[in-house]
Amino acid sequence: MATVSVTDYIQGEDIYTTMGDTADAGKDFDTYVFPNWQNYIRITNNGEFDLLLVAGKYTHTIIHPGDTFAADVDFKSFDIKALEAGDDDDCEFTFVAKEYGSTDVDVNKFWELSLRRNAAGDGDMVLTSANKTTSATTINTAITGDDKKYELEYTVTLKDTEGTTTHDWFNGNFEIAVETDSTAGIIAIKNDLKVITLIDGVGKVTLVYTGTWVATDVVTLSITGGNRYGYTVAGKDITDTLS
């Protein structure tokens, strides 16, 4: 069973909508995990094979090609599988999951989230993280050691423009990519993640160094900004300039 975490999905702009995605379901079950409880799911089968869905109380739901299944159901993850598909076959689907959907709403929690979100103000959300100056010797020593790699973690925080307040009401995702100007160093994002997930306004991502590095090599972790909850968040480049 493959586990596909929430880091593969993009935060919806609507306060109710938490995730949306198009993906291929492999021959084994894929598990899709969310940071918060969801109360509604809608899945459309865009492929050529039946899909088997497990979500909350719906433990054996078949979705035929071209059909859509929607339900009010409490879940924090769902499993999906393409039936009778070969290893090289695709079974595409789209889904939308919602929290505070059509089920009972905690009114106090909803209004608290709304007020804190609105207090952010247009343009008052900034991605922050410290640049690094890692020693090339430290990196190379780790690579030639038992681990055969060097790992470096970045913490990214969504703050106000003054940098004094963390937007701890925010749960969402931003696309990420990494590159380097090194001629012999190799850089990658651990677990091949394509996005960073911020929970309560804070997220972490780990970079993996292999190859050979020298001082002045630069690694750049780029976070793509975008519209979140109706507000524009600028992108952010974070660097590690080797010493």
* Residue 111, in any domain of the structure: no
Phi, psi of 184 (to 5 degrees): -125, -10
Give the predicted TM-score (pTM) of the model: 0.59
Domain shared by 228 and 154, yes or no: yes
Which stretches of the chain are assigned E, i.e. beta strand? 2-4, 17-24, 30-45, 51-55, 58-63, 68-82, 92-98, 126-128, 150-159, 172-180, 185-189, 195-198, 202-211, 218-223, 226-228, 231-233, 236-241
* Residue 121, in any domain of the structure: no
* Residue 120, in any domain of the structure: no
Domain shared by 94 and 143, yes or no: no
* Structural domain for 225, as ranges: 126-241
Domain shared by 132 and 99, yes or no: no
Residue at a domain's end among 74, 105, 136: 105
Looking at residue 131, its amino acid is: N
pLDDT tens digits in sequence order for the chain, 243 residues long: 455 544 444 444 444 445 544 555 666 677 777 766 788 888 888 888 888 999 988 888 999 989 999 888 888 788 888 887 776 666 788 888 876 544 455 556 556 666 666 666 556 889 999 999 999 999 999 999 999 999 999 999 999 888 888 887 777 778 899 999 999 999 999 888 888 878 778 989 999 999 999 999 999 999 999 877 667 889 999 999 999
* Residue 116, in any domain of the structure: no
Domain shared by 139 and 230, yes or no: yes
Those residues whose C-beta lies under 8 Å from the C-beta of residue 131, and which sit 6 or more positions away, are: 238, 239, 240, 241
